[in-house]
Amino acid sequence: MTPDQLVTQFCAEWIEPDPAKIAEYFAEDAVYHNIPMEPVIGRDAIREFIAGFIAAFGGIDFRVHRQLTDGGQSPNAEESSGVVMNERIDVFTLNGTVVELPVVGVFEITDGKITTWRDYFDMAPIQAAAGGG
């Protein structure tokens, strides 16, 4: 599976998320960093973070508008390492409010696993839905 295919499949998992299944996409020592927050390090910690996130927000619809890949695009071979960037709107419900959050995601893939996932977004829409802004 190419990095592009892996990230596309990964993003689709979030509609009806299973923390254990999502965590399997990550390398053992992976880093997940929502840039406004502290990074989460290690597959087990990522699984726990995702479980907490899902408990608060439920599923998320990752509406990917553009996705670009560096690596894994050779027509003669499927490489399993590269960098994937996507521009998307993450849609979820918080306190009965539908939040549409613009996000840019950067995924570093090595040997078919996510080693680093960074999401860049503004916390203001989340804080507003939570009643804090």
* 72-127: pLDDT as tens digits: 454 444 568 999 999 999 999 888 889 999 999 999 999 999 999 999 999 998 88
Count of Cβ atoms closer than 10 Å to residue 107 Cβ: 24
CB–CB of 121/102 below 8 Å? Answer: yes
* 7-41: pLDDT as tens digits: 999 999 999 999 999 999 999 999 999 998 999 99
User: What residues have CB less than 8 Å from 88, skipping those under 6 apart?
Assistant: 11, 62, 63, 64, 65, 102, 103, 104, 105
Whether 90 is catalytic is yes
For residue 123, what are the domain limits? Answer: 3-69+81-129
**Within-domain flag for 74:** no
What CATH number is associated with residue 50?
Answer: 3.10.450.50
What rounded mean pLDDT belongs to the chain? 91
Q: Of the residues 4, 44, 90, 122, which is catalytic?
A: 90
The model carries a pTM of: 0.90
Whether 111 is catalytic is no
Count of structural domains within the chain = 1
Tokens coding 96: 């009965």
